[in-house]
A and B are shown apart, each in its own frame.
Chain A
Amino acid sequence: MPGGTITLRNLTKRFGDHNAVDDISLEVHGGEFFSLLGPSGCGKTTTLRMVAGFEEPTAGQIILDGADVGRMPPNKRKVNTVFQSYALFPFLDVAENVAFGLRYQGCTRAEAKQRVAGALDLVQLTGYERRRPGQLSGGQQQRVALARALVLNPSVLLLDEPLGALDAKLRRALQVELKALQERVGITFLYVTHDQEEALTMSDRLAVMSNGRIAQLGPPRVVYEEPESAYVADFLGVSNLMDAVAAPGGDGTCRLTIGEFSLTSTCGSLRASGPVKVAVRPERVGIEAFVASGDNRVPAMIERTVFLGSSTQVVVRLAAGAGLQSVVRNDDPAAGWVAGTPIKVVLPPDALRVLANDGGTVEQIHEETLGDVAPVPA
């Protein structure tokens, strides 16, 4: 590994009496693609700006390859930034933009020329040297910004919603490209986004942030499949969330009461008791005929079915009042049932995840997520 380890220790940034970043500790390994994910205003940009050196931490340390850089000016740090607005210098052409920082690395003219050519080749912009930023498309500008940072061989690249200004299709294409590029150059990417799909598909690991704190940190699959709190489950748009009352069951299981029905759960915070949130992913919600019986089955009614192409989404309402979405195969009989059909919903014990009661900051409840299709990571 060429270095590029970032350690944040109790990092805090206060604006007035508001903690934009509140006691964050995490470690990003060298060569890792690490994302900070969270809703608007949760402190992602502030964290990134502290690592870049544009904001001074109120407290805590930023350790880059073993050295505390918390008070070092940005031009002395071996990190480079790709800004959300790109911040390309409008009065310089593409080649001059990319060459801007080389001057401070003591490059000879010939060497600079060669490195600029190399960087432009890396982002597939050879031939655009003499264009001004104003004469480039959004995606091309984004690549110039990338080349301008990468040409300096930083050990860490900071990216603040670098795809935020692009349309959905280009976004997806560049996500793949950016990830491939990161693997090729092997430097650490600290990536900020509020788009959960982007974070889930690109990152090696990610941290979900909430109000300046880290709500959960881990690899995408773990965070997606095993959200530790209602907040994370909700933000990742993963799940159906239901209110339930928990009580310890036998054999380390958890007994959940939803309305007048009793269910068993074998995953999540099994020792919880009292009111909790329960998450269940749409793929795991089974639908059977009303006459079916057995454990973990709850009566409900079909509210509507939505054909998704490769599958069908069935929205149901439990007798207890909660709405749930289920995704079934197109050849499942439930896909053909009309609205108003009474059914039984099957919620397997290993799919019912009891979420720690974090007194969460969940704004949305399941009512609002109904109709949205939960994204599934590739």
Chain B
Amino acid sequence: MAVTLPDATGAAGEELFAPSPAAGARTPPAAVRRSSIIARLRRRAVFLETFTWLYLIWSIIPIGIAVLFSFNSGKAQATWQGFSWRWYVTDPTQSVLHNAELHQAFVQTLVLAGLTTLITVPIGVAFAIGIDRWRTRTASALNFVMIFSFVVPELLLAIALFFVVTDLLHFLPLGTTAEVAGLVVWNLSWPAIVVRSRLVTIGRVYEEAAADLGASRLKALWRVLMPMLMPAIFASAVLVFAGVIDDFVIVEQLSSTAATQPVSVAIYSNVHGGLAGPALNALATLMLVISLVVAAIGYVGYRLMTRGERKNTAEALTTIAGM
């Protein structure tokens, strides 16, 4: 279920895009001989709009159904038996609240997301500043690593990390420690790239102004660059947090027991031969809500932080979406 989340955000992007051709079609024709072009444009707009709606329906309806049945009072996944909170709280053994495995998975996901964000973002910011502002050989090497981790398939990285952890780094046990380590490596390029693109936008003139006024390089970094990077840092924290919630491949490889399984792994292993049932829907719904809330916080927060900068909605969205 968690795997369908990116589709939902993608669909939001589509929706943003759709109105513009429609708006173009609404402008009155400038000349009669142009009317056939306009008509064609309108047909295209209708086609685009229809397609967008089909896409939205196709991606949202399954999620909607899954969410709906998490509130079913019975065990059925196909027949509605009345509304209840049974699978969230009231069922004494199988609800998310009372089933230890599900409960733990939920907590584990939040712990992983929190820890990974706390570790990844500062390192990523440091990398970004290092790569962009200190043009050295090390900086180029770091830059290569950033791009590399973008290109490497997640599964490859996960398996590689698994062998490194089990065969080489014995002090790094499978479970939360290894999971966080793997997630940090995998997500590091987000803050590095988002913060770096902001660094490029900002340019060096503010640091030069600070130096000119008497600030040392470190002071300029701290008093001027950091506040100006805040929106990007915040956006990348949101991205990392949401990314960890979504993650499956790395945590699946690096979790040890059921106790360190996050939601995605718990759902996966239970659908295939565990306690299948609406409680899983409930768990997935909770993760969906958290993802949406995080995305909303990210969007609103970014807009607020860049208030004076004449940003438009699309820019805020694409930054949050990490583009």
- Across chains A and B, which 3 residue pairs bring their CB atoms closest together, nearest first? A101-B213, A104-B214, A87-B209
| Residues in A lying within 8 Å of B, measured CB to CB | 52-54, 73-75, 80-81, 83, 85, 87-91, 100-101, 103-105, 132, 134, 148-149, 152
**A105 with B214: in contact, given A89-B224, A91-B227 (CB under 8 Å)?**
yes
- CA A148 to CA B217, docked complex, whole Å: 19
Would B209 and A81 count as touching, CB distance under 8 A? yes
Would B208 and A87 count as touching, CB distance under 8 A? yes
Q: What is the interface of chain B mostly: helix, strand, loop, or mixed?
A: helix
Would A83 and B211 count as touching, CB distance under 8 A? no
Listed by A's residue number, 5 A-B pairs whose Cβ atoms lie within 8 Å are A54-B211, A74-B211, A75-B212, A91-B227, A91-B228
**Which residues of B sit under 8 angstroms from A52, Cβ to Cβ?**
208, 212
Would A75 and B211 count as touching, CB distance under 8 A? yes
- CA A80 to CA B208, docked complex, whole Å: 11
Q: How far is the CB of B44 from chain A (nearest CB, A)?
A: 40
Most B CB contacts (10 A, CB to CB) among A89, A105, A132, A134 go to A89
B216 nearest CB neighbor, chain A only = A75
| Residues in B lying within 8 Å of A, measured CB to CB | 205-206, 208-217, 219, 223-224, 227-228, 308-309
Would A74 and B216 count as touching, CB distance under 8 A? no
- CA A80 to CA B212, docked complex, whole Å: 6
Would B213 and A83 count as touching, CB distance under 8 A? no
Task: List 5 additional A-B contacts (Cβ < 8 Å) besides A73-B216, A100-B223.
Answer: A53-B211, A88-B209, A90-B309, A101-B215, A105-B214
- CA A90 to CA B208, docked complex, whole Å: 15
Would A100 and B205 count as touching, CB distance under 8 A? no
**A90 with B308: in contact, given A75-B216, A83-B205 (CB under 8 Å)?**
yes
Name the contact of A87 in the complex, choosing from B205, B214, B308 (C-beta under 8 A). B205
B230 nearest CB neighbor, chain A only = A91
Would A87 and B206 count as touching, CB distance under 8 A? yes
Q: How far is the CB of A99 from chain B (nearest CB, A)?
A: 10
Would A75 and B215 count as touching, CB distance under 8 A? yes
- CA A286 to CA B183, docked complex, whole Å: 84
Q: How far is the CB of B111 from chain A (nearest CB, A)?
A: 33
Most A CB contacts (10 A, CB to CB) among B208, B216, B224 go to B208
**Which residues of A sit under 8 angstroms from B217, Cβ to Cβ?**
73
- CA A100 to CA B209, docked complex, whole Å: 10
**Which residues of A sit under 8 angstroms from B224, Cβ to Cβ?**
89
Would A101 and B214 count as touching, CB distance under 8 A? yes
Q: How far is the CB of A69 from chain B (nearest CB, A)?
A: 13
